[in-house]
Amino acid sequence: MNVITSPETVTAAAPAGALLLRVLDVRHYTDSLFSFRTTRPASFRFRSGEFVMIGLMVNGKPLFRAYSIASPSWDEELEFFSIKVLDGPLTSRLQKIKPGDEILMRQKATGTLVNDALVPGRRLYMLSTGTGIAPFASLIRDPETYEKFDEVVLTHTCRQVAELRYGIDLVEAIRGDEMLVELFDPGKLVHYPTTTRESYQRQGRITDLIRSGSLFADLGVPAFDPTVDRVMICGSMEMLRETKALVEEAGLAEGSNSRPAEFVIERAFVE
């Protein structure tokens, strides 16, 4: 196995049209989760919540996977939040990157978890499990989200407490960021982390918490209402299927870029 990450050799080997990102910072949270920040090419544009293909040169060939961009569209750097899969073709290698390395990115960002795919409403729910929080990490740092909605509820459900750390640090950083606080009221953001395997202040799968009404009781709001509530969902295939069925039962319709509606879904990409 030969993985190229040194700047000169990546530049020489990169496929046509691929952009190069210089790694600036890497943080490991658990055995299975890490985040990293990179430079952002001046030509690269995206909407908060979108994903893009990133990759490495492996054995002389580019290997790409879809990653949600965790940083907001105004940020001069890019941020990603990734799982580590022991025998994952990309993540087993990507988890070894360090500052100064270069990775590849394709130029086209896309996705459905964007403000444009929702019709106006009052309250925006972002329901996530695992690395599915990544697109929401982008959206909750974008002032546009708070211009469109009076209240933003971010739920994040993981097996273990340690897996919630990225989201907890993120929300703390937003509340303490003087520049962001000038642009929007962080009081509009409600963070609702839960665990499924370890003891924590709130426990349970988000689907169970919706079904039982606990989510709404804890927030002190009525159940999903298609006239005021909008929902974005990002998690495993199983979580998506179940949660989609619940919001459809509540009368919300699925939106897209060309036909905005009351909810949108996207999978948390896994290898």
Q: H/E element holding 240? A: helix 237-249
For other proteins, which stretch binds (CB under 8 A), given 70-78, 102-110, 191-199, 218-226? 102-110
User: Which one, 44 or 269, has the nearer CB to other proteins?
Assistant: 269
**Count of residues in contact with other proteins, rule CB under 8 A:** 21
Give the residue with the Cβ less far from other proteins, 102 or 266: 266
Expressed in percent and rounded to 5, the helix, strand and coil fractions of the chain are: 30, 30, 40
Task: Give the distance, in angstroms, between the CA of residue 267 and the centroid of all CA atoms in the same chain.
Answer: 10
Q: Which of 68, 63, 71, 66 lies closest to 53, judged by CA?
A: 66
Among 6, 11, 110, 212, binds other proteins (CB under 8 A): 110
Q: Which residues contact 96 (CB under 8 A, 6 or more apart)?
A: 3
For residue 228, the minimal CB distance to other proteins (Å) is: 22
Q: Which of 186, 267, 270, 271 binds other proteins (CB under 8 A)?
A: 267
Q: Are 242 and 127 in contact (CB under 8 A)?
A: no
Q: Which stretch binds other proteins (CB under 8 A): 124-132, 176-184, 193-201, 252-260?
A: 252-260
The CA distances from residue 1 to 59, 72, 101, 165, 193, in Å, are: 6, 34, 17, 32, 39
Which residue number, 19 or 183, has a Cβ lying nearer to other proteins?
19
CA 29/CA 32 separation, integer angstroms = 8
**Looking only at residues 36 through 95 of this chain, which bind other proteins when binding is defined by CB under 8 A?**
51-53, 64-66
Binding test (CB under 8 A) with other proteins, winner from 22, 106, 188, 244:
106
* Residues at the contact surface with other proteins, assessed by CB under 8 A: 51-53, 64-66, 106, 108-112, 254-259, 266-267, 269
